[in-house]
Amino acid sequence: MRSDLMKKGFERAPHRSLFKAMGYTDEDLQRPIIGIANSANKVVPGHIHLDGIAEAVKAGIRAGGGTPMEFSTIGLCDGIAMGHKGMKYSLASRELIADSVEVMATAYPFDGLVLVTNCDKIVPGMLMAMLRMNIPSILISGGPMLAGQLEGKAIDLITVFEGVGKYASGKITEDELKKLEDKACPGAGSCSGMFTANSMNCLSEALGLALPYNGTIPAVSDERKVLAKDAGERVMELAAKGILPRDIATGAAFRNTIAVEMALGSSANTPLHLLAIAKEAKVELDLNLFNEISRRTPNLCRISPAGPYHMEDLHKAGGVPAVMAELNKEGLLDTSLLTVTGRKVEDNIRDADNLNTEIIRPIENPYSKDGGIAVLFGNLASEGAVVKQSAVDKDMLTHNGPARVFDSEEEAMKEILGGKIKKGEVVVIRYEGPKGGPGMREMLGPTSAIAGAGLDKEVALLTDGRFSGGSRGAAIGYMSPEAQEGGPIAVIRDGDIIKIDIPNKRLDVDLSRQEIEKRLEEWKQPEYKIKEGYLYRYAMQVSSASKGAVFE
């Protein structure tokens, strides 16, 4: 056993003595030792209940003949970090989470790992660590929050963000905004739409590194703890059989995952994270593959913000297995691949039923013939930009308009909430990329304010920062190369005509190559916004968004 490195032999008597100080017995130490990376805390609604999930995991590990040992990782709530300096740390926290699990699982050579997680950057950080360590492992999430209810209608966090825009534009009263605030988030779980957290939890199923229904069983359901106990038992089977994460997360598994991503219409953040996860799996991905798979994969789901449904509805309709079963009707998945169930994909989805053909459209009647995510290229984004096309109004799939340029999110928000953005304009927010932010903030505030003002069908937003999974409208982000590195977005001026053509995967500014080059020659790189601490180190090391914003 790998754990023998810290517990076996006369020379490890001091080590065993320290374990016994914590209450572990000789019998405990003779069993396989399974590390539990638990991101529970009392500052994230998606994580406030994870101690209970971890206890269920421990029960499963003990039932399988193992000894669980729990340790913690950090985790922050993107919604609470949104709109201020804290959001600069969100994406950057992903690397800290992966590194912290690596540190603990190396200092303590566990025989296996269970990664207890839920929200935006914590899920991909955990998956990165799992694949980096490559010891028998399984991921279990805390599950999605239920949708809120107000006057007979389902609402969620995005309803509140958009309510801010409605209030600023005089469309609702302060009392109506307060009612949204009070009712949108009814309890524990990751926010209830197909936002980044739930997207990544669903895609962890598709990748084969989490059990079926990991992405959709509600946080407050007893089914969630049953799944967690099962995860504890399954990791013991993986350890006994020597099945490793990289045996599962192969190139073919990533292609399956991208197909499921397109069918779900998941968060625009998912390509960024999948690129980073694939790097740890020693699998080569590039953004062109997302368009290639999108062209042949129909969009079957429109979960909030793309539609009126929420994660609880997707679960009742059959969850990710039902989506995968629909894709398999047209042979769009490789079902011969191994998963953490110990079985192949084909076995996991054999009995899956589509129980609601509006929430999960049959493959012969999709919402659209291509997938929910598109990667755009052009003279503004030679390395790519990403848009959640399933959440874009059909009238905005192609759009030409004059640029309104801002050098920070705060500058843009002031103008948007002040009612100074005109119909037809293209809001450009730059110097918010991985290096320029630093940290690549999400722009849920600006997109929600635009939507709340009723302009999401007439105003586009471009940025080298990110968009929340809750953003809707013509929100195009992750533009690479970013402004801080001298990408063309750095030299756009107010009034330049931006040309958006999502069907043809193009993003351009109506300027000649010579004019762009002339402006770039005159451009001078600005000083970094933060010059100390972790964010400065992050800015010095982080790669382009087109490479997953990983450390180089």
> Which residues are identified as catalytic?
468
- SS3 for 292? helix
295 Cβ contact partners less than 8 Å away, ≥ 6 residues apart? 370, 371
Whole-number Å distance between alpha carbons of 133 and 98: 10
Whole-number Å distance between alpha carbons of 431 and 405: 11
Torsion of CA 229, 232, 237, 239, to 10 degrees: 180
Radius of gyration of the chain (CA): 23
118 Cβ contact partners less than 8 Å away, ≥ 6 residues apart? 39, 44, 46, 47, 50, 75, 141, 142, 143, 189, 190, 197, 201, 219
Scanning the structure block, which residue is given the tokens 């500014």?
509
Asked if 340 and 297 count as a contact pair (C-beta separation under 8 A), the reply is no
- The CA distances from residue 45 to 42, 186, 249, in Å, are 7, 10, 29
Smallest Cα–Cα separation from 177: which of 154, 191, 160? 160
Type of residue numbered 318 = G
256, containing H or E segment: helix 251-264
Dihedral of alpha carbons 450, 453, 456, 460, sign: negative
